[in-house]
Amino acid sequence: MHSSSPVRRAHGAEPLVKGPVAEVDHCPDCGVLSIHLGATTLRLDEGAAESLWATLSEALAELHRRKIGALALSDNRPRGVA
């Protein structure tokens, strides 16, 4: 995701990290984390951000399990000596 303009930061927000698809700021005054994804910004308290992190982690783990399962089903090679 490429941004043509810099991220607008909320008053008092400090940049924490910048990745290829997202930037995260933290406001020390109110404790809010701002997650910038292109033109969209999510503002979450720390607990909500941790919950989102856990949910995304579970979703990615499930996606990987499904991909591995699909690969196993499509692999018709013999499995050892019968």
Domain boundaries defined on the chain: 14-74
Query: Using one digit for the tens of pLDDT, what is the confidence trace for 5-39?
Result: 567 776 789 999 999 999 999 999 999 999 999 99
* Beta carbons of 74 and 61 less than 8 angstroms apart: no
Please check the confidence at residue 1 and state whether its pLDDT lies above 50.
no
pLDDT at 54: 98
The pTM score is 0.69
Query: Using one digit for the tens of pLDDT, what is the confidence trace for 33-78?
Result: 999 999 999 999 999 999 999 999 999 999 999 998 888 777 666 6
